[in-house]
Amino acid sequence: MFAFCQDPSELETLRWLACYLTTGVHFSFYFSFIKVLGILAVTAPVALAFGFLGAMAARSRFIPFSAIGKSYIAIVRGVPDIAFFLFFVIALDQAFEWLRHSYLCPDWEEPIRQGTDFIVCPAAKLPLGSAPEVVHEAYAFGLAVITFSLVFGAFAANVLFGAMRAVPRAQLETAEAYGMSQRQTFRRVLVPQMWVYALPGLSNLWQVLIKATPLLFLLGIEDVVYWARELGGTKTARFSDYPHGDWRMWYFLALLLFYLLMTWGSEKILNRIMLRLTKGQATAGGEAQRKARPA
């Protein structure tokens, strides 16, 4: 905060606005953008890993693995994201606390389930009540990564499963004819070829993941939407020194520009990756590049 921000009531418009935008809670709002970017940076590769494992399981010839992979894809894709977030986060949190309770408090005699309440010993609570705020935030961040990864991993698994099936069978048979084992064929032929077919679906999934980050508030994370609503509203104790009208439209306009910039930039990058992958490939994209070359 600037040195002239001692008495906001005596400030002119520009100085008042400068002081208003540099308060501690506003820096929390700015930091929430970093949280969103951090969630995306961690969730994307983890979700892709879940998706790859799910796709491998779904195409497995071992029936139990195939059933697990296809069930994972079908169940998660068939449940609305909000319902899954509300259920899974609570279930996962209670599962962690139950495991800690079983290990740390073996002499506990009271039932854990008491009506609608879930009660464990104080030592088993996650995080502990005495833990610093950063631990609480890290725990919520971890739950968010796991939940987002499971949800979007199922969609990624469906995309990758379809991409694996789209690779021409003749290429796999040729690799086997040259003496490659099934594992070598999978690693050297199927996986490199499938990305051309998977990238359009994965690109759409990435855009959906970006637009799904406002669901973070369901996990108790003070994200950009939470702060925009809090800071833009008129009835808030956070700004007793800086009273203002209903400014939510301006805060949400900032979020609109942020998400539009994210999706626009992502589309440009993904298009470049797609051009690189389709170069020389016997696909519609590769054929279009060949026709575009000067004779």
263-291 residue pLDDT tens:
999 999 988 888 777 765 555 445 455 45
Q: Please give the pLDDT value at position 285.
A: 47
In this predicted model, what pLDDT tens digit does every residue of 177-236 receive, in sequence order? 888 888 888 888 888 888 888 888 999 999 999 988 887 777 777 788 888 888 887 655
In this predicted model, what pLDDT tens digit does every residue of 125-152 receive, in sequence order? 887 777 787 887 888 888 888 888 988 9
Three-point CA angle 159, 219, 92, nearest 5° = 75
- Which sign, positive or negative, has the C-alpha torsion 81, 84, 87, 89? negative
DSSP labels for 101-116?
HHHH-TT--S-SEETT
Element (H, E) at 26: helix 24-58
- 3-state class of 95 per DSSP? helix
% of the chain residues with pLDDT over 90: 19
Tokens (6 digits) for 236: 């808030």
Tokens (6 digits) for 280: 């020389």
Q: What CATH code is carried by the domain that includes residue 202?
A: 1.10.3720.10
- Please give the Cα distance from 12 to 4 (Å, whole number): 11
Q: How confident is the model at residue 106 (pLDDT cuts 50, 70, 90)?
A: confident
| Mean pLDDT across 37-61 | 91
19 assigned to some structural domain = yes
For residue 92, CA distances in Å to 133, 139, 147, 186, 207 come to: 21, 12, 9, 34, 26
239 assigned to some structural domain = yes
8 assigned to some structural domain = no
Q: Please give the pLDDT value at position 76.
A: 87
227 assigned to some structural domain = yes
Cis peptide before 127 (omega within 30 of 0): yes
**Residue 189: count of CB within 10 angstroms of its CB:** 18
Maximum Cα–Cα distance across the chain: 84
106 assigned to some structural domain = yes
7 assigned to some structural domain = no
- 3-state class of 246 per DSSP? coil
The number of distinct structural domains making up the chain is 1
Range of the domain at 76: 13-289
Least confident of 63-72, 243-252, 257-266: 243-252
Q: Please give the pLDDT value at position 24.
A: 79
